[in-house]
């Protein structure tokens, strides 16, 4: 898809319109998504939560352009998504770093392909992004030399390097221990505050969704449908132990019982 690579507000809105997805399997067609409609405004932080097998990853992949919907469409900045592209940075649960590239070379990948944003150089952008995730000292390390948390940071820095208006994150902290996860959540919020990206965050962790997002989209068990959209009107930083936090969590949790 020919899209402007660099930040442009008109490209930062995601609209999912009546998207359904049916897979063919040996036992017949399997419906993964059913009439899903979501609108993610520019600059918002929206999470999708749902049990595993609820189609939230399918929805993520369709928004990313990795899969085509059976019906309906996803529009990003007005244009229908048909392919992955540098306007939507992606971060996966298993970091998906290029193991043969050093940390700095991983971050530089997208810049080699689409060039650095105006008035910067590749080297400056790499330094800036490593600085954002606090990994300047690991620039020359290979991914195998890093911890799980560090690898996720590199994945985030790599996605940020081409300065996409949108960040799509599929359970990025799902494989991390509790402490690392909490640290990375803080860092992500700081990066979001600084860069003003539109973030779509898929997770099965309700607390994580409530802690991070402006809005939580609750998916049903397969076929995936949107059961509810719950706004989280709390100020940040949020108190995970507060009443408002607990009530929001409970409002989401009731869909899982």
- Residues binding other proteins (CB under 8 A): 5, 64-66, 83-86, 88-90, 92, 94, 96, 98-102, 109-110, 113-114, 142-144, 158-159, 162
CA distances from 219 to 30, 121, 138 (A): 17, 42, 38
Nearest distance from C-beta of residue 184 to other proteins, angstroms: 19
Nearest distance from C-beta of residue 2 to other proteins, angstroms: 10
Query: Contact, 129 vs 107, CB < 8 A?
Result: yes
Phi/psi at 21 (nearest 5 deg)? -140, 125
Phi/psi zone of residue 251: left (φ > 0), alpha (ψ -120 to 50 degrees), beta?
alpha
Nearest distance from C-beta of residue 175 to other proteins, angstroms: 14
What is the biggest distance separating any 2 CA atoms in the chain, rounded to whole angstroms?
Answer: 55
225 vs 245: CA distance, rounded Å:
25
Cβ closest to other proteins, residue 18 vs residue 83: 83
Nearest distance from C-beta of residue 159 to other proteins, angstroms: 8
Residues 6+ apart with CB under 8 A from 153: 133, 134, 135, 184, 187
Cβ closest to other proteins, residue 172 vs residue 223: 172
Nearest distance from C-beta of residue 87 to other proteins, angstroms: 9
């Amino acid at each position: 898809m020919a899209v402007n690579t660099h930040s442009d507000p008109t490209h930062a809105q995601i609209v999912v319109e009546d998207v359904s997805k049916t897979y063919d399997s040996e036992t017949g067609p399997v419906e993964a998504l059913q009439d899903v409609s979501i609108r993610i405004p520019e600059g918002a932080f929206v999470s999708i939560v749902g049990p595993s097998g609820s189609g939230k990853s399918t929805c993520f992949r369709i928004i990313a352009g990795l899969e085509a919907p059976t019906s309906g469409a996803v529009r990003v900045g007005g244009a229908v998504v048909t392919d992955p592209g540098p306007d939507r940075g992606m971060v996966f649960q298993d970091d998906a770093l290029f193991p043969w590239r050093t940390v700095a070379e991983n971050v530089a990948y997208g810049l080699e392909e689409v060039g650095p944003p105006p008035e910067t150089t590749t080297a400056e952008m790499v330094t800036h992004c490593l600085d954002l995730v606090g990994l300047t000292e690991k620039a020359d390390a290979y991914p195998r030399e890093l911890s799980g948390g560090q690898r996720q940071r590199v994945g985030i820095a790599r996605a940020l390097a081409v300065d996409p208006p949108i960040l799509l994150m599929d359970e990025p902290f799902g494989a991390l221990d509790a402490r690392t996860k909490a640290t990375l959540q803080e860092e992500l919020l700081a990066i979001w505050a600084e860069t003003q990206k539109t973030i779509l965050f898929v997770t099965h962790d309700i607390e994580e969704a409530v802690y991070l997002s402006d809005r939580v989209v609750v998916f049903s068990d397969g076929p995936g449908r949107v059961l509810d959209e719950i706004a989280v009107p709390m100020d940040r930083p949020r108190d995970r132990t507060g009443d408002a936090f607990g009530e929001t969590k409970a409002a989401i949790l009731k869909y899982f019982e």
